[in-house]
Structure 1
Amino acid sequence: MSILITGSTGKFGKNSIEFLLSKGVDPKSIIALVREESKGKQFQEKGLNVRIGDYTNEESLVKAFQGIEKLLFISSSDIENRIDHHNNVIKAAKQVGTIKHLVYTSFFRKEEVEKSGNSSIGFVGKPHIIAEDLIEKSGINYTILQNILYTDFLTEFFFGEKVLENGIFFPAGNGIGNYAIRKDMAEAAVNILLDENQQKHLNKKYIISNEESSSFEDAAKILSEISGKTLSYTSPDVATFENTLTGFGVPPVYIQLSVAFGLAIQNNEFNTLKTDLSTLLNRKPTTLKQFLFETYKKQ
């Protein structure tokens, strides 16, 4: 059974490949899709097959997907061109005709927020909504994973490099979210691909979120415990936040994205009582406290 991983050089892709290997999958049946041959060496060293393909080039994807039976389709990280990228992947997958199961990493949206069209991160969700619709109409058996905001994003983008010195400065208000870590999501995707009872996952949508909900105030308390000193959480108004980051030389695009996600968190758009993650993992997902301790205790 051949399994191709798109976006294999990204963090989600690498995590997925590591889980496939750790669960005993023959490396030769795992195909890593890369844009350039040089990026495939890291996978060839592990015994994997490598194919060249680019989300911008449908023909390259058709060639890369030949003979593939299972496809882990990791969404494009290029927000501006994501719709075209996704369209190319789905069209190529349909054209080859061999893919029996496509697993797609989508994005969690609250139904009521999606219908209102008032989300500050609507531009993030829209390409996924379009992709989901195309996948459902493609005739390919699918599983759609509506992934909540990564817990990893809090530490990678929102907290700042000096959070253990300065505390958290981010416009998330009192919002709470059921954030889940990227590795747990990747493991869930792999578990679906390897499940002996594939039938139960076909043409399903799963909500991938945590059982626990957390606020940035909760995060500050955990970080205080880790650092051994009291760290505060400050939620500035948007103008103050933008001016502060501009003063530090942060690129405008990054500031705009941060504000958009901050407002979405304030609006509790990542807070949900629904989740399939625990069932797919056969265990409880990693908590915010576990993740923060693992992340910052190394420093």
Structure 2
Amino acid sequence: MILITGATGHFGKSTIDFLLNKGIPSTNIVALVRDEAKAEDLKAKGITIKTGDYHNYDSLTAAFKGIDKLLLVSSSDVVDRTGQHRNVVSAAKEAGVKHILYTSTERKNETASSPIHFVTGSHIETENIIIASGIPYTIFRNNLYLDMVPIFLGQQVLEKGVFLPTGETRAAFATRDDMAEATANVLITTGHENKDYGISNTENISIPEIVRSLSGIVGKEISYVSPTAEVFVETMTKAGMPEQFVGMFAGFSEAIRQGEFETDKTDLETLLGRKPVSAEEFLQGVYAAKK
């Protein structure tokens, strides 16, 4: 029996769909959700729904009984992610879960000096908690989603261009669906215990290269400006962007600039059994109709 946490989110739903498409009976899949009302589409597919909250330990132990493989899709709660995940791992151990899989993140700098330590710190802590639990594990070091690129570029990218302090450094962006399919493939096969997988694209590409590609797709030159982080924060703050979003964009941009997501080591192609979707292919799908 396979249980997916965060099952009403993009990654959880996509993983479940891939499991079903690959022939796993819906009766062998359990979806953990906080709000059952948001899981009607999963119910319609025959998925067993368990209601649980990362802060409610008893709800987790009840949901995890009889589960062989548990996919812990990382919580979106940056403030208390580690505490939530600690509950999940402890409950999994108490319930006798045989294998825990975790969606972590690609990174190079594991110290507090990382510009995205507010994200990576809890991922590293969670990995350590999982390993210390003694439960056989698989950790996915997921790179940045290509799906996030349009958000980084902005809704008015075709009119106003791109203003991001990423410099010329590349990152191995990959689509969320490719990552979810690779995860599904691991869930339905054997030999993945106590392994870390790098889930990155086979190509590294920079934001200015993405902008040039986008210009070719829409038939219009899109400008790209890479300010200093200080100028970016000042400009975006004056433009009325909420502080938390300014900090997030600035942090991830600086992490890209420092090479946190550039890598030539990836297991994604092997786990998929094919080449991952490229940045060019992704951009064509998003922007080709906007010519």
Q: TM-score range by the shorter chain?
A: over 0.9
Amino acid at match of 2:180: A
Amino acid at match of 2:14: N
Q: 2:253 aligns with which of 254, 262, 276?
A: 262
Q: 1:133 aligns with which of 122, 128, 133?
A: 128
Q: Match for residue 222 of structure 1?
A: 213
**3-state secondary structure, aligned to 1:143:** strand
**3-state secondary structure, aligned to 2:211:** helix
- Matched-pair contact (CA < 8 Å) for 2:3–2:67: yes
Q: Match for residue 287 of structure 1?
A: 278
Task: Tell me how far apart the structure 2 counterparts of residues 35 and 269 of structure 1 sit (CA, whole Å).
Answer: 33
Q: 1:102 aligns with which of 100, 103, 114?
A: 100
Task: Tell me how far apart the structure 2 counterparts of residues 3 and 268 of structure 1 sit (CA, whole Å).
Answer: 35
- Matched-pair contact (CA < 8 Å) for 2:163–2:226: yes
Amino acid at match of 1:145: F
User: What whole-Å deviation, never above 9, does each CA across 1:27-56 have from its counterpart, x for those lacking one?
Assistant: 121111110221221210111110001112
Q: TM-score, normalised by structure 1?
A: 0.94
Task: Tell me how far apart the structure 2 counterparts of residues 92 and 24 of structure 1 sit (CA, whole Å).
Answer: 29
User: What whole-Å deviation, never above 9, does each CA across 1:221-245 have from its counterpart, x for those lacking one?
Assistant: 1110121101111111223222322
| Comparing 37-46 and 5-14, the one that deviates more | 37-46
Task: Tell me how far apart the structure 2 counterparts of residues 297 and 85 of structure 1 sit (CA, whole Å).
Answer: 41
Amino acid at match of 1:251: P
Q: Structure 1 vs Structure 2: percent identity of aligned residues?
A: 47
Report how far residue 298 of structure 1 moved.
4.4
Report how far residue 256 of structure 1 moved.
0.6
Task: Tell me how far apart the structure 1 counterparts of residues 157 and 261 of structure 2 sit (CA, whole Å).
Answer: 22
Q: How does 1:1-299 map to 2 (within 5 A)?
A: 2-97=1-96, 99-110=97-108, 113-114=109-110, 117-156=112-151, 158-195=152-189, 198=190, 200-299=191-290
Task: Tell me how far apart the structure 2 counterparts of residues 248 and 67 of structure 1 sit (CA, whole Å).
Answer: 52
Amino acid at match of 1:155: P
Give the gaps of 5 or more residues in structure 1. none
**3-state secondary structure, aligned to 2:70:** strand
**3-state secondary structure, aligned to 1:202:** coil
User: What whole-Å deviation, never above 9, does each CA across 1:123-182 have from its counterpart, x for those lacking one?
Assistant: 2111111111111111211111011111222223x1111112222111101111111111
Task: Tell me how far apart the structure 2 counterparts of residues 164 and 30 of structure 1 sit (CA, whole Å).
Answer: 42
Report how far residue 67 of structure 1 moved.
0.9
Task: Tell me how far apart the structure 2 counterparts of residues 293 and 235 of structure 1 sit (CA, whole Å).
Answer: 24
Q: Which runs of structure 1 show a deviation greater than 4 angstroms over 4 or more consecutive aligned residues? A: none
- Matched-pair contact (CA < 8 Å) for 2:112–2:121: no
Report how far residue 117 of structure 1 moved.
4.2
Give the gaps of 5 or more residues in structure 2. none
Task: Tell me how far apart the structure 2 counterparts of residues 160 and 56 of structure 1 sit (CA, whole Å).
Answer: 34
Q: TM-score, normalised by structure 2?
A: 0.96
Task: Tell me how far apart the structure 2 counterparts of residues 40 and 174 of structure 1 sit (CA, whole Å).
Answer: 42
Task: Tell me how far apart the structure 1 counterparts of residues 16 and 224 of structure 2 sit (CA, whole Å).
Answer: 36
C-alpha RMSD of the superposition: 1.2
Task: Tell me how far apart the structure 1 counterparts of residues 101 and 289 of structure 2 sit (CA, whole Å).
Answer: 33
User: What whole-Å deviation, never above 9, does each CA across 1:60-102 have from its counterpart, x for those lacking one?
Assistant: 11111111111111001111111111111101101101x2221
Task: Tell me how far apart the structure 2 counterparts of residues 49 and 123 of structure 1 sit (CA, whole Å).
Answer: 34
**3-state secondary structure, aligned to 2:274:** coil
Task: Tell me how far apart the structure 1 counterparts of residues 150 and 165 of structure 2 sit (CA, whole Å).
Answer: 15
Task: Tell me how far apart the structure 1 counterparts of residues 229 and 257 of structure 2 sit (CA, whole Å).
Answer: 12
Task: Tell me how far apart the structure 2 counterparts of residues 298 and 230 of structure 1 sit (CA, whole Å).
Answer: 16
| Comparing 162-171 and 78-87, the one that deviates more | 162-171
**3-state secondary structure, aligned to 2:16:** helix
Task: Tell me how far apart the structure 2 counterparts of residues 182 and 138 of structure 1 sit (CA, whole Å).
Answer: 28
Task: Tell me how far apart the structure 2 counterparts of residues 243 and 129 of structure 1 sit (CA, whole Å).
Answer: 31
Task: Tell me how far apart the structure 1 counterparts of residues 217 and 158 of structure 2 sit (CA, whole Å).
Answer: 8
